[in-house]
């Protein structure tokens, strides 16, 4: 079960968006593994994709279609990533798009495909095509929870977030779902995330809004340091709210909407870390006082990716020397270790580069016994800062990934 999971949240429907699911039997019989998200014809759409050079076939197709037309349908399957499948993988993704376009009477370029699951296996095109009528037939404004289940792989819980914001007296909704638990160190977004708002936003500004939110949320999480071949994050703007269109970044209405999008993205990103494969700890890493943000990120990610640090947290062992070792090998030039301060939650471990005189092992143990812990590193070298989220590394992580295809 995900760390600190409070159950499925209240999800506000987004006017102009419907979601449908079906059981295609792609990898497992009887489970929802096919999802369709439909948006109104005049909707705007923004997306970011993985930077992994071995990107999956659906990523290639979705990028191309997004340039050619305004999307009407997102077609998502789980159980098969359609990655490492060469030219045939692209043909298979196109075949699925073509069939959905025929059924929905829309141009093929208005369908964006997304896949997640096992890499390098042929896509079950016949099964997906056969299940498309059922998915279309189940389209509903209230389909968010079923869709969140339908995109899961090793996730233990569905992930959703939703908020409303008052802008010039009108209620604007932002709602989204995501999936991901392993192979998580996004280099754009996350494994898969789909977010929608009923605000009307010019497409270029919508892309800017999504990229800014992704940079501070999905691009600030890591479970195991692996960037997926299939990462994608989509933001749809239907324009069905009475609020007049937003077209300028300096518009106060845009700032309110951007904050709402950021809030939903942050909740979805954190939900992925909380559900990290085998995770028992949710860890926030704050690095402050750097000379620039890159310096702070180097240190934060080195801590987050250290197997020794992660296993210490799994064992609830206050072996904080492992954190110092990670900081010292982060590759930051001219790091003044004598100026450094290190805290776990409010407990000071290190001051001026050495053990804090007031530190006691039993106090460290009390912090490490918690499910949610913040590592705070103060470099005292400048004004830059950053925050990322990660989790521990457990025996279950090894088991889940060792048995993934069995």
User: Which active-site residues does the annotation give?
Assistant: 190
Q: What Å distances lie between residue 389 and 52, 163, 217, 304, 342, CA to CA?
A: 21, 22, 9, 8, 17
CB-CB contact of 311 with 393 (8 Å):
yes
Query: Tokens 């995109």 appear where?
Result: 151
Strands 282-290 and 372-378: parallel
> Hey, how many other C-beta atoms are within 10 angstroms of the C-beta on 347?
20
- CA dihedral of residues 196, 198, 202, 207 (deg, nearest 10): -20
> Hey, how many other C-beta atoms are within 10 angstroms of the C-beta on 232?
30
CB-CB contact of 50 with 59 (8 Å):
yes
> Hey, how many other C-beta atoms are within 10 angstroms of the C-beta on 149?
20
DSSP 8-state code for residue 297: H
* Nearby residues of 18 by Cβ (< 8 Å), 6 or more positions away: 37, 38, 139, 140, 141, 143
Largest CA distance in the chain: 72
């Amino acid at each position: 079960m995900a760390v600190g999971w409070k159950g499925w949240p209240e999800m506000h429907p987004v006017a102009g968006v419907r979601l449908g699911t079906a059981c295609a039997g792609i990898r497992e019989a009887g489970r929802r593994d096919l999802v369709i998200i439909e948006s109104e014809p005049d909707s705007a759409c923004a997306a970011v994709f993985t930077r992994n050079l071995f990107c999956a076939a659906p990523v290639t197709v979705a990028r191309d279609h997004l340039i050619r037309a305004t999307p009407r349908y997102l077609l998502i399957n789980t159980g098969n990533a359609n990655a490492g499948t060469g030219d045939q993988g692209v043909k298979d993704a196109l075949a699925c798009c073509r069939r959905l376009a025929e059924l929905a009477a829309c141009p093929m370029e208005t369908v964006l495909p997304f896949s997640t699951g096992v890499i390098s296996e042929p896509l079950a095109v016949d099964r997906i095509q056969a299940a498309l009528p059922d998915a279309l037939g189940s389209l509903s404004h209230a389909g968010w929870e079923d869709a969140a289940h339908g995109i899961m792989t090793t996730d233990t819980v569905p992930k959703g977030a939703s908020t409303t914001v008052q802008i010039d007296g009108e209620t604007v909704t932002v709602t989204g779902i995501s999936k991901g638990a392993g192979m998580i160190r996004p280099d754009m977004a996350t494994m898969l995330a789909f977010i929608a708002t009923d605000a009307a936003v010019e497409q270029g500004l919508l892309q800017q809004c999504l990229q800014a939110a992704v940079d501070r949320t999905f691009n600030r999480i890591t479970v195991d340091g692996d960037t997926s071949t299939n990462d994608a994050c989509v933001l749809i703007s239907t324009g069905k709210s009475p609020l007049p269109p937003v077209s300028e970044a300096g518009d106060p209405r845009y700032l309110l909407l951007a904050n709402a999008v950021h809030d939903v993205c942050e909740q979805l990103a954190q939900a992925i870390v909380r559900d990290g494969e085998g995770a028992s700890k949710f860890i926030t890493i704050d690095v402050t006082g750097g000379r620039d943000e890159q310096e702070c990120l180097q240190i934060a990610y080195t801590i987050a990716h250290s197997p020794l640090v992660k296993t210490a947290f799994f064992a609830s062992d206050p072996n904080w020397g492992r954190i110092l070792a990670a900081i010292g090998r982060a590759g930051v030039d001219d790091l003044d270790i004598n100026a450094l301060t290190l805290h776990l939650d409010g407990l000071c471990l290190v001051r001026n580069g050495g053990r804090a005189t007031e530190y006691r092992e039993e106090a460290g143990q009390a912090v490490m016994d918690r499910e949610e812990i913040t590592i705070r590193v103060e470099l005292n070298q400048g004004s830059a800062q950053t925050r990322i989220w990660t989790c521990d590394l457990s025996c279950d992580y090894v088991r889940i990934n060792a048995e993934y295809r069995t």
